[in-house]
Every structure is written in structure tokens, then in C-alpha cells.
Amino acid sequence: MRDDFTRFEMEYRWAVQEILTKVSILREEFLQLHRYNPIEHVNSRVKSPASILDKAARRGVPPSLPAIRKHITDIAGVRITCSFRADTYRMLETLTSQDDVRLIQVKDYIAEPKPNGYKSLHAIVEIPVFLSTGPVPVIVELQLRTIAMDFWASLEHKIFYKYDREVPGHLRDDLKQAADAAEQLDLRMEQLHHEVHGVHGRSDLPVGPDIDNDLLERLWQLSLETRPETG
């Protein structure tokens, strides 16, 4: 049983690594080719065995690995904090359009925030982890949000646990007002960004190796020399 649970947990850790690799590649592509980085930072976690079993007990899920795998979808999580609201949708679409990522469910708390003001884009995806015995499909929860949304969620989380889930009414009202203010900040900052850099967000960020005109001309000549002749 210990070996089975260890393997179970490792599969989720490897699935997180797969997602992080994809995000790292996308970040590098945007920086080098588009001169724009939509990703501010990335966090990940895999629930501990105790946390997994506690959640299974609360939800009435049988304490078996197949049942837990089927009914608990947030064992592995990756949070992507983006610069702007549009970037959250763009990154989710880019990730889930890859052939080995299967989109299972999306909950758009940006378009429809929770009553307390929480905003984030949640997605449940399935990704294969390739082992010596073959591929194993593993569920990962993705959360995509802006910097302002992430700051608000972090503060709300701390207050939530400080008061043992019983947050006083006046603090709940203040948090909701702060969420509304964060939304206005997001909208205004994105508007300013578009005014400066255009809708596509291309900026003057440093790019990769400098390719000067002489090198481009050499490449062009080589392409002409190696181009097959047509009859």
C-alpha cells in the first residue's frame, strides 16, 4: 500500500513537471519571438497524502486510489499569474490546444466572480505521464489570474484562516470592495498597455541572439544557393 501511494503521488508530481515544462517553453517563445512576456510567475503544488485523505473523507470518497483519482481533481495544481486579464485566456487556450493536453472543465470566475469577490480562471486538464510501463493519464488543476487577482486571493486566504473560516461581516464587505477595486485596476492597466504597445502587446523587451543585417543577407544567399531548381 505504501509503494502504491508513493507511485500515485509521484505520478501527480511528474504531471506538474510536464505542465511547468510547457509553460516554460511558452514563456521563452513569447520573450524571444514576440518580445512580450504574458507570464509574471508560476507556482505549483501537490497535496500531501494526509491532505488527500482528509479531503476524500470530507467528500465521502472511498479511501482507494482509483476512487480518489476519479473524484478529487485538485491533487496537483499549477497557478499561472499573468500580466493582464486577456493573457489568462490566451495562455489557457495555448496550453489546452496542445495535442497531449485534454481539457475536461473550465470555471470562469473572471467573467462570473464568486460572491466574495474571488476572480480566477480555473481549468481541469488531463495530461499523460510517460512511464516505463506506458502512459498514465493524470489530472491537473490550472489556475490563471492576474497580479491584482492573485494579491487579493492571497490576502483573502490569510484572513479566511486567521478567523477560522468565520470572517466578520465588515471584513467580508471590505474584501468585496477591494476585489472591485482590483478589477478596475486590471481594466485600466490593460487599457494603458494597449495604448502604449498595441493590442498584441509587443514591447521592447530584450530578445535572444542579435541577428544583424549582414547575417540575414548571408542566410538569404545560402537559401538561394541551396534552393532546388525547378524545371
Instruction: Provide the annotated active-site residues.
Output: 141
| C-alpha closest to that of 117 among 188, 161, 177 | 177
Q: Is 36 helix (H, G, I), strand (E, B) or coil?
A: coil
CA-to-CA separations, 31 to 16, 19, 27, 82, 191, in angstroms, rounded:
22, 18, 6, 14, 21
Q: Where are the alpha helices (DSSP H) in 80-168?
A: 85-96, 147-162
CA atoms within 13 A on the CB side of 191: 6
DSSP letter at 228 equals P
